[in-house]
Structure formats: C-alpha cells, structure tokens
C-alpha cells in the first residue's frame, strides 16, 4: 500500500494496456533470474522444505548426467560429477543458507545465492590453482539448485501469498508461459520493445506491461508498492493514495468503454461507407478461444504454435500437437484457422535450441534443418485438417528456394499419410508470411507458389529498419509509420491484389487502432490481432469512412518522416471519437 516513501515515476514503453497496482517481485539477474522477497516467521519452514526438495532434485539430476556420461564417454569423464555431488552435499553451504534464511527472513533462493556468492568470491582469491578451479564447480551446482527453486516458482509453486508485479531486466517467452497467471498483476522490464514476444503474450492475457525502462530493477526494491499505467507506459514507485485513487477511476472508465465495445460485437465489421473488413484472432493455444471468437470474429488469422513447445521446453509429440490443433479446429465453428509452423529462435528459445539471433537459424530455417521436428508438426496439422478449415503458413520466408523446399517436404508428408491411409484435407491451403524485405521485393514470385499471404509487421519493421525488436536502446527507430514501411505495405497490398492472393495482416500493427486505420487505408481488408484488442479495432472500423481515409493516405505517402505521419493518423482517430 501507499506508504511514507516518496512517490517516484518512471517512463518506459507502453507495451500492454491496463492499470494495476500491487507489490513488486524483483528478479535480480544473477545468471538466472532470482526473486527476492521477505518471508514471515511461519514461512521459514516452507522455505526449508523447498530447499530440501531442490537439493534432492539436483542430486538426482547430477547422478543421471554422471551415469549418462559414464556410459557414453567413460568413467574418467564422469568423475567431475562426483565432485559436483560433493559440492551439493557440502554441509557449510547448506547450514549457512538456512542461517541466512532464518536471520534475514528472505526467500531461500536468495539466501542460497548470497552464501554461494560469498564462497565464490573467497575461492577466487586463493592462490592454489586446483582450489581456484572449484569455482566453476560451485557455479555449476548452484545454478542447478537455483533452477530447481526458481523453476518451481515459475511453474505455479509460488510461495508468496500475494499476487505480484514482476520486475525484471528481461522476460523470455519461455519464462512468460511458466508464470502462474493467478499470481500475476503486471510486468515491468528494463529492456524489450513493444513487439517482444512476452509483451505480445501479456497483451493477449490482458496483463499490463511497461518495458524499456532501462534501470527499473535498480530503482525498484523488493516489496515496493507499485502502480502500472500500461496505456501511457508509466510506473509509479510508492504511489500516493491520491495517485491510486485517480488511477482506480481511470481504470473504471476504461472498463466502461470496453463494455460499450463488447456491445458492438453483434454488429457487422464494416466502414461507414460499406467496406467490410475481415477481423481474425491471433492465438497461442486452444485455451485462448473464447465465445467472441466463435461468434463475432472471422476465424483464427494466426495460431502461434511456439507456445506448445515453450510450455514443454522441448518437442511435443505428434499426438500432443494433433490434439491441440484438432481442439482449435473443432471450436471455431468451421471458420478458417491459420496454423503457423514453428517459429522458434530469436527470443523464443527451447531447451537445447540455442540460436537467439533474429538473423540466425530461426523459423522456417530451423525447420528445414530439423526435418523430423518439421515433419512431425506437418503430420499433426494435416491429420487435424479434417476437423475444420485448417490452413498452414510458413514463417520467415526469404525466397522461392526456401518456399519450394518447405512445399516439397509438405508434399512428402502428404504422400506418407496417403500411403498410411490416414485422412487429411487434400485441398488444404498453404500460405507464406511476408515479414522479410526480400519477400516484399519478390512477392509476385512467391504468389505463384502459395494460396495466401499474411503480413508479419513486427518482423517486417525489424528487418526493414535493421532494428532489433527486443532492444530498448534502439526502440525509437522502430517506427511503424516510417515511409519505408508505408511503401512496403503498399507494395504488398497492390501485388497481392494483382496476383489474386488474399492477404491478412497479423503483426501487432493490426491490433492498434491508429495503425489499423493506416493498414486499411493502404489496402488491407483482413486484420488479425490479439483477441483482447479486437473489440476496439471493430469499434473504430465502424466509425471510419474509407473514402476519407484513402485521401489521408495519399497525403501521408508524400511525407518523408515517421513522426508527422503518426501525428496525422492520431488526429484522424481523434476526429472519429467526436
């Protein structure tokens, strides 16, 4: 609650709209994210129990690895793991952790880390090389223990009693899928941009988020009371009672507005001058499908399948995937469901897949190098295709060779299913994402090889402008209204039309009313966005006049900078409100 400390306001990037207030849960970045929080007297025994379980789990892990290494490489190579077991069972490490926990009443992973750091610093000063080398053993073992402790929290074993606002340098998508939503109020990060994947996830979960704050983890202390304004990108540390009251009122107003958007869901999605616009939903799992998707929208424009892999932190079986895709197909009333094949890499990493570059072995590139994984997914999608209007889409297509290879594998999988007499839809539509500048340049060539396109503006802007979508230091250069973006989008819509290929926009631009107006004015007739954003987009589409919008776009195409283009679009939208 508001206390006597002074209110401090931080400004970052508004990433996921909404307002929330509550206590901070800080994740210090010490190789892995370690939360720091106070515990009560009663909580001490719970923490000790967690510690014991983590030690047992770590012991089992090390023994398993030791036996594997011993079998594959030999006994000598496995000796190192005996040394690790000795570190783990070191009495001093365990008793000092318990002592710190009891005396300071801080959570066990933090207490353990304090002790481990002390030991590491001590060993580093020792002359004896053999002992100095023990530092890496301690680091390795402590990382395992911490992973077991922190992993348990992130997988729902939260030991704090209150819902919290997560404060961290960064949050990866695999961490985001692990958080227990019931204990989560909001996200605050030092780094990241408005299209980081964890941000997209928080938007679809309606969890307020502010990112790109640079040094929030230094300014915010464990257990500080915080307020997040996800609309404006503000974070209040120790907000006053007045600030909290004011924001509770703002939150209520937003709720009221959202209610009016909901009432409009029964109406058609068309502009004032009668242009109908297709509105589809972006989903991450079958659980995202709500009644409004079934009744008020036009299907699933983007099913990001990565979450299935991230939740598992590995490769899901064909059967697991088949069940997930079938469930989506069955719950969408026969409307189209566009399933995107695995887009792993970049910021979406799975255990054992270590390419964190957006320019590296990501998406279709990864799949074409890992054919078993790719084929397993294609089989599951094809098998599910008999249960609805499932379509398939490849991410990150750069050219026709890549597309040919993907289609070749796809046809091979179809042949296999045919020979196994397994049913699938033989006319299943295949599409390519347009999210690389190279794909924009040769879109007419790609058009000959697919049934439809979908524009990934998140990556298109990143690759067109050479601005890492995760890097807060260059987020000012990530400009959806840059003239180069406008020209590329115009080319995409014109070329799709002249090549008679349907095109949808499924990047985050489609879920922001200002950019949705821009897209429609430029020629988009189909948009796909997070379900939480769709009612508002529908509301604004119903207020727009396409004729007026086209005139505005003609003017915008003559401007040479992003900022005036953005301002004119904001003014256009403001006028619609009155």
- Which residues lie near ligand PEP (CB under 6 A)? 302, 304, 343, 435, 456-459, 506-507
Nearest approach in angstroms of CB 393 to ligand PEP is: 10
DSSP 8-state assignment for residue 288: G
The encoded tokens of residue 384 equal 């599910």
CB 419 within 8 A of CB 442: no
Q: What angle do CA 330, 332, 336 make, to 5 degrees?
A: 105
The encoded tokens of residue 420 equal 């196994």
CB 522 within 8 A of CB 489: yes
Q: Which does 230 bind (CB under 5 to 8 A by kind): Mg ion, ligand PEP, none?
A: none
Closest Cα partner for 184 from 146, 214, 147, 228? Answer: 228
CB 543 within 8 A of CB 272: yes
Nearer to ligand PEP, 14 or 239 (CB): 14
Nearest approach in angstroms of CB 309 to ligand PEP is: 13
The active-site residue, picked from 482, 504, 506, 539, is 506
Residue 507 has φ and ψ, to the nearest 5°, of -75, 175
Listed in order, strand segments (DSSP E) in 421-502 are 430-434, 452-455
Nearer to Mg ion, 169 or 306 (CB): 306
Other Cβ atoms closer than 10 A to 143: 15
- CA torsion 305→311→312→314, rounded to 10°? 60
Nearer to ligand PEP, 12 or 507 (CB): 507
Nearest approach in angstroms of CB 91 to ligand PEP is: 49
Q: Which does 457 bind (CB under 5 to 8 A by kind): Mg ion, ligand PEP, none?
A: ligand PEP
d(C-alpha 173, C-alpha 304), whole Å: 12
Nearest approach in angstroms of CB 186 to ligand PEP is: 21
Residue 73 exposed, middle or buried by CB count within 10 Å (0-12, 13-18, 19+): exposed
Q: Is 24 helix (H, G, I), strand (E, B) or coil?
A: strand
Q: Cα separations (Å) of 138 from 43, 48, 80, 144, 147?
A: 27, 20, 12, 10, 14
Nearest approach in angstroms of CB 462 to Mg ion is: 8
d(C-alpha 322, C-alpha 319), whole Å: 5
The encoded tokens of residue 147 equal 């992973």
Length of the chain: 578
Residue 471 has φ and ψ, to the nearest 5°, of -95, 110
CB 544 within 8 A of CB 520: yes
Nearest approach in angstroms of CB 469 to ligand PEP is: 8
Q: Does 508 bind Mg ion (CB under 5 A)?
A: no
The encoded tokens of residue 58 equal 């770590």
Nearer to Mg ion, 190 or 347 (CB): 347
**Spacing of C-alpha 78 from chain mean position:** 38
Q: In the annotation, is 367 catalytic?
A: no
Which residues from 36-55 bind Mg ion, rule CB under 5 A?
A: none
d(C-alpha 458, C-alpha 467), whole Å: 11
Nearer to Mg ion, 302 or 531 (CB): 302
The encoded tokens of residue 105 equal 């009443």
- Give the contacts of 114 (CB within 8 A, at least 6 positions apart): 100
Nearer to Mg ion, 123 or 358 (CB): 358
Q: Which does 506 bind (CB under 5 to 8 A by kind): ligand PEP, Mg ion, none?
A: ligand PEP
Nearest approach in angstroms of CB 302 to ligand PEP is: 6
Q: In the annotation, is 84 catalytic?
A: no
Nearer to ligand PEP, 304 or 482 (CB): 304
- Residue whose structure tokens are 């609309």: 231
Q: Is 527 helix (H, G, I), strand (E, B) or coil?
A: strand
Which residues from 427-486 bind Mg ion, rule CB under 5 A?
A: 435, 456, 459
Q: Which does 304 bind (CB under 5 to 8 A by kind): ligand PEP, Mg ion, none?
A: ligand PEP
Nearest approach in angstroms of CB 472 to ligand PEP is: 17
Q: Which residues partner with 135 through β-bridges?
A: none
Nearest approach in angstroms of CB 382 to ligand PEP is: 22
Q: What is the chain's Cα-based Rg?
A: 26
Binding-site size, Mg ion (CB under 5 A): 3
d(C-alpha 117, C-alpha 99), whole Å: 15
The active-site residue, picked from 21, 84, 100, 197, is 197
Nearer to ligand PEP, 47 or 435 (CB): 435
d(C-alpha 318, C-alpha 325), whole Å: 10
Q: Does 566 bind Mg ion (CB under 5 A)?
A: no
* CB crowding 155-171: b at 16 or more within 10 Å, else e: eeebbbeebbbbbbbbb
The encoded tokens of residue 80 equal 């190192």
Q: Does 190 bind Mg ion (CB under 5 A)?
A: no
Q: Which does 507 bind (CB under 5 to 8 A by kind): ligand PEP, Mg ion, none?
A: ligand PEP
Nearer to Mg ion, 460 or 520 (CB): 460
Nearer to Mg ion, 340 or 538 (CB): 340
Nearest approach in angstroms of CB 306 to ligand PEP is: 8
Please give the positions annotated as active site.
Answer: 197, 506
Question: Which residues contribute to the site for Mg ion (CB under 5 A)?
Answer: 435, 456, 459
């Amino acid at each position: 609650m508001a206390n006597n400390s002074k209110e401090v306001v931080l400004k970052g990037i508004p990433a996921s709209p909404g307002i929330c207030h509550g206590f901070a849960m800080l994740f210090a970045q010490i190789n892995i994210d370690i939360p720091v929080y106070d515990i009560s007297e009663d909580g001490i025994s719970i923490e000790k129990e967690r510690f014991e379980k983590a030690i047992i789990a770590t012991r089992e892990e090390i023994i398993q690895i030791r036996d594997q290494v011993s079998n594959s490489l030999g006994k000598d190579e496995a000796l190192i793991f005996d040394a690790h077991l000795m570190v783990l069972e070191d009495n001093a490490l365990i008793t000092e952790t318990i002592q710190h926990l009891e005396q300071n009443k801080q959570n066990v992973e933090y207490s353990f880390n304090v002790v481990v750091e002390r030991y590491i610093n001590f060993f580093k000063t020792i002359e004896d090389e053999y002992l100095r080398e023990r530092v890496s053993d301690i680091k390795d073992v402590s990382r395992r223990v911490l992973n077991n402790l922190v992993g348990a929290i992130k997988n729902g074993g939260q030991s704090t009693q209150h819902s919290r606002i997560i404060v961290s340098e960064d949050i990866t998508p695999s961490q985001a899928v692990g958080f227990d939503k019931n204990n989560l109020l909001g996200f605050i990060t030092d780094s990241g941009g408005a299209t980081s994947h964890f941000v997209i996830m928080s938007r679809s979960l309606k969890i307020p988020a502010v990112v790109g704050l640079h040094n929030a983890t230094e300014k915010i202390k464990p257990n500080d009371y915080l307020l997040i304004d996800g609309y404006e990108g503000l974070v209040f540390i120790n907000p006053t009672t007045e600030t909290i009251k004011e924001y509770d009122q703002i939150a209520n107003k937003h709720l009221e507005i959202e209610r009016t958007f909901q009432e409009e869901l029964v109406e058609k999605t068309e502009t004032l001058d009668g242009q109908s616009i297709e509105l589809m939903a972006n989903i991450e799992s079958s659980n995202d499908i709500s009644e409004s998707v079934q009744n008020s929208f036009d299907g699933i424009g983007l099913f990001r399948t990565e979450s299935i892999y991230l939740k598992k932190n590995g490769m899901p079986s064909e059967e697991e995937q088949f069940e997930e895709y079938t469930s989506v197909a069955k719950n969408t009333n026969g409307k189209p469901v566009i399933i995107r094949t695995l887009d792993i890499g970049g910021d979406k990493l799975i255990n054992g897949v270590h390419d964190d570059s957006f320019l590296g072995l990501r998406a279709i590139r990864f799949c074409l190098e890992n054919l078993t994984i790719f084929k397993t997914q294609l089989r599951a999608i094809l098998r599910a295709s008999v249960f609805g209007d499932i379509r398939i889409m490849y991410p990150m297509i750069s050219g026709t060779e890549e597309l040919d290879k993907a289609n070749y594998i796809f046809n091979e999988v179809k042949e296999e299913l045919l020979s196994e007499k397994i049913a699938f839809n033989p006319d299943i539509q295949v599409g390519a994402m347009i999210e690389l500048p190279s794909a924009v340049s040769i879109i007419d060539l790609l058009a000959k090889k697919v049934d439809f396109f979908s524009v990934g503006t998140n990556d298109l802007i990143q690759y067109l402008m050479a601005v890492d979508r995760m890097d807060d230091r260059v987020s000012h250069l990530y400009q959806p209204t840059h003239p180069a973006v406008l020209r590329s989008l115009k080319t995409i819509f014109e070329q799709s039309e002249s090549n008679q290929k349907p095109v949808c926009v499924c990047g985050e631009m489609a879920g922001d009313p200002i950019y949705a107006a821009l897209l429609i004015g430029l020629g988009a007739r189909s948009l796909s966005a997070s379900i939480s954003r769709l009612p508002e987009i529908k509301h604004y589409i119903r207020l727009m006049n396409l004729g007026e919008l086209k005139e505005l776009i003609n003017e915008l195409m003559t401007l040479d900078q992003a900022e005036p283009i953005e301002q004119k679009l904001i003014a256009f939208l403001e006028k619609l409100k009155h």
